[in-house]
Amino acid sequence: MLPVDLVGAIRRGLEKDRREPDGKLHCSSDILGSLRHAQLRLAGAPTIESELVQDVRLKTGTMWHDLIREYFVHEGWAAMGEVRLGQFLPEGWQGTADWLFWDFEKRCFVLGDLKTIKGEGMYWVERDGAKPEHIAQLSAYYWALVDAGMPIRKGLYVCYLPMNPDANSRVEKVEPTLIEVTPLDKDYLHGIMAEKWDKTQAYLADGEVLSEKLEPPTPREQQLIWDRAKGHYDLKLVPSWKTRYCPYPNELCDCSEQGTTKIGHFENKEGAVIYTARKGYENVLPMFSPGVKEFERRAA
């Protein structure tokens, strides 16, 4: 038996790297993240102990950021890292851009960001592009740089760095992938950010943790799931992936306890996709539908 608490030492070491509360909303997590979580965080609400693996993964991401910035310096690249942009963001918001590269040919900066990701997630980003929350984050940085008077290219880049092979074997070769994104409309984005800040301020002004101004938990999302036995697609309400990382006890936020509910199904009837709602869910509008080709692919 070891004469020291090694696991405890690892946990305490990781806790030192946690961001200190600054009373701000953050572009990296709050633009499309749970407003309830953000409100509780700014109110100083008590949290549950996080799984150690979550802290390890965060530290791994920090390590890669540090190593790459060291490489910039070693290679003499014209680049800046960890560029704080809070003074140019909408009121109440804070954010730090990972990288700004200078393009000597076009005489402007190029904004980039690094995201670590599970190998299984590479299938989705290669198929669908950058994740919406990452597009929103980089868009906020882009408009902050524009407002700061920086010459900045409109094409933004997210580098997805996989942390393991694809256990589902849907990606033939898992390797870092660079994805270009276009910034969101400024008025639309700043409208979302202003609304979240205003609601947070109204909640904090109430002075109660469980205030009426506290936003509802993250709602469930619709998802298509293939039922092989019946040969059709079930439409289900499933918890958002964000709920797996809820840091609050159930009395403050019970989003981690959400279950899965079938609300209907899609069938392919002679080349026409027909939706049938489950009894009691007739008023829930399907947000999307599988195409005929999806049924044909499943049948092949």
Check pLDDT > 90 for residue 288.
no
pLDDT given for residue 2 in this prediction: 66
Residue 106: name the closest of 60, 151, 39 by CA.
Answer: 151
**CA–CA separation, 282 and 105 (whole Å):** 57
Question: 139 versus 2: which is more confidently predicted?
Answer: 139
Give yes or no for a contact between 166 and 138, defined as CB atoms under 8 angstroms apart.
no
The three-state secondary structure class of 116 is: strand
Strands of 172-251, DSSP E: 177-181, 221-227, 232-238
Question: Between vectors from CA 7 to CA 4 and to CA 9, what angle results, nearest 5°?
Answer: 65
pLDDT confidence of residue 63 = 80
Q: Report the C-alpha gap between 246 and 40 in whole angstroms.
A: 11
Mean pLDDT for 10-22 is 70
Residues 6+ apart with CB under 8 A from 235: 222, 223, 224, 225, 262, 263, 264, 265, 266, 275, 286
Residue range 8-196 forms a domain whose CATH class is alpha beta
Q: Tell me the angle at which helices 52-75 and 6-15 cross, rounded to the nearest 10 degrees.
A: 60
Share of the chain above pLDDT 90, in %: 64
Domain boundaries, the chain: 8-196, 217-299
**Better-predicted residue by pLDDT, 194 or 61:** 194
Name the nearest CA neighbour of 257 among 239, 270, 232, 273.
239
What is the value of pTM for the model shown?
Answer: 0.85
The mean predicted confidence, pLDDT, of the chain is: 89
Q: What is the mean pLDDT of residues 8-33?
A: 81
Mean pLDDT across 138-157 = 96
Residue 25: band (very low, low, confident or very high) from pLDDT cuts 50, 70, 90:
very high
pLDDT reported for residue 68: 81
User: What 8-state DSSP symbol labels residue 41?
Assistant: H
- Model confidence at 18, in pLDDT bands (50, 70, 90)? low
The pLDDT tens digits for 167-208 are 776 777 888 899 999 999 999 999 999 999 999 999 999 999
The predicted pLDDT at position 159 comes to 93
Residue 41 banded pLDDT, cuts 50, 70, 90: very high
Question: According to the model, what pLDDT value does residue 19 have?
Answer: 66
pLDDT above 80: residue 3? no
Flag whether pLDDT at 7 surpasses 80.
Answer: no
Task: Tell me which DSSP letter residue 182 carries.
Answer: P
The identity of residue 246, as a single letter, is C
Residue 77 confidence (pLDDT): 84
pLDDT at 172: 76
pLDDT band at 52 (very low <50, low <70, confident <90, very high): low
Paired with 80 in beta bridges are 100
DSSP notation for 232-285: EEEEEEE--GGGGG--S-TTT--GGG---EEEEEEEEETTEEEEEEPTT-TTS-
Q: What angle do CA 47, 259, 264 make, to 5 degrees?
A: 150
- On whether the CB atoms of residues 8 and 55 are closer than 8 A, the answer is no
Lowest-pLDDT range of 87-91, 148-152, 284-288: 284-288
202-252: per-residue pLDDT in tens?
999 999 999 999 999 999 999 999 999 999 999 999 999 888 889 999 999
49-53, 230-234, 286-290: which has the minimum mean pLDDT?
A: 49-53
